[in-house]
Amino acid sequence: QSGLTQPASVSGSPGQSITISCAGTSSDVGSYNLVSWYQQHPGKAPKLMIYEVSKRPSGVSNRFSGSRSGNTASLTISGLQAEDEADYYCCSYAGSNTWVFGGGTKLTVL
């Protein structure tokens, strides 16, 4: 079981859109509609932002969207705001009763 691969960092200016990728394999991201994304501010617990690839929990801004192509999932944040600056993690069911996280991506709002 290997971790999912995310870019270490991404950045964007306020109002712009950014996309964070999450590369997995045909054994995890590519096989199950069970990709979720979490936002984590420093010193805080992770917060669910996207579940089941592209669904948004109640209360999460519609500026956040998720998608998947093959073995790679993506999180897109449109209309970047200063408060979006945080670490983002993807997570996927990996089969055999296991779950795997990505290494995390630090988003900087310039």
CA–CA separation, 100 vs 43, rounded Å?
22
CA–CA separation, 79 vs 8, rounded Å?
21
Residue 37's nearest CA partner among 1, 10, 77, 8 is 77
* Stretch of 9-17, 19-27, 36-44, 67-75 lying at the interface with another protein (CB under 8 A): 36-44
CB 75 within 8 Å of CB 35: no
Q: Where are the beta strands (DSSP E) in the chain?
A: 9-12, 18-23, 35-40, 47-50, 64-69, 72-77, 86-93, 99-101, 105-109
Applying CB under 8 A, does 100 fall inside the site for another protein?
Answer: yes
Which is nearer to another protein, 76 or 95 (by Cβ)? 95
Applying CB under 8 A, does 86 fall inside the site for another protein?
Answer: no
Applying CB under 8 A, does 57 fall inside the site for another protein?
Answer: yes
* Stretch of 9-17, 67-75, 77-85, 86-94 lying at the interface with another protein (CB under 8 A): 86-94
* Stretch of 20-28, 61-69, 72-80, 98-106 lying at the interface with another protein (CB under 8 A): 98-106
Binding site for another protein (CB under 8 A): 1, 3, 32, 34, 36, 38, 44-48, 51-52, 57, 89, 91, 93, 96-104
